[in-house]
Amino acid sequence: MATRVRTSKQTLTLLNALAAKPSQWHYGYALSRETELMSGTLYPILMRLEERGWLETQWETLEALAEGRGGRPPRHMYRLTAGGHAWAMEALSAARGMTKSRGALKPARQHARIQLGEPAWEQS
């Protein structure tokens, strides 16, 4: 039986950002800025994805720190595993399919952030 993760609009937004560049390492602050998710929402989602093996993490290397700005602590980096990327693509496709008829799933910014809207209610 496959492990399920709640695919809230916040999770889908994060998956969209990660899947756009699946082999690239991302750090939390940049993901927060790109997705507009607050840290109290973002980091629990990242932890759940990592627990399920869909996200790999590592600390920024000393070499990368030396090349960047000095005086800051190493950053925790994230990227999708192969299985995580496959799952993300399925989840994003399913979300698009479920909302396509309502037109609620659409790119909101140049980086194609996902927004899921409320269903349109028919008026009698």
17, part of any domain: yes
CA distance 66 to 77: 16
Identify whether 4 is part of a domain: no
pLDDT digits (tens, 9 = 90+) for 70-120: 667 888 899 999 999 999 999 999 888 876 655 544 444 444 444 444 444
Looking at residue 78, what is its pLDDT?
96
CATH number of the domain where residue 40 is located: 1.10.10.10
21-30, 57-66, 78-87, range with the lowest pLDDT: 57-66
Whether the pLDDT of residue 33 is over 80: the answer is yes
**Residue-level pLDDT at 30:** 94
> How many domains does the structure of the chain reveal?
1
pLDDT at residue 7, as a whole number: 83
- Is residue 15 assigned to a domain? yes
Domain membership of residue 89 (yes or no) is yes
Q: Is the whole model's pTM more than 0.75, yes or no?
A: no
In a domain, 2, yes or no: no
Q: DSSP secondary-structure letter at 54?
A: S
User: For the residues 57-72, what does the mean pLDDT come to?
Assistant: 74
Give CA–CA dist 3/91, Å, rounded. 13
Domain enclosing residue 17, as ranges: 9-114
In a domain, 3, yes or no: no
* 27-31, 63-67, 114-118: which is most confident: 27-31
The residue ranking higher by pLDDT, 7 or 77, is 77
- For residue 122, is it within any domain? no
d(CA 24, CA 111): 15
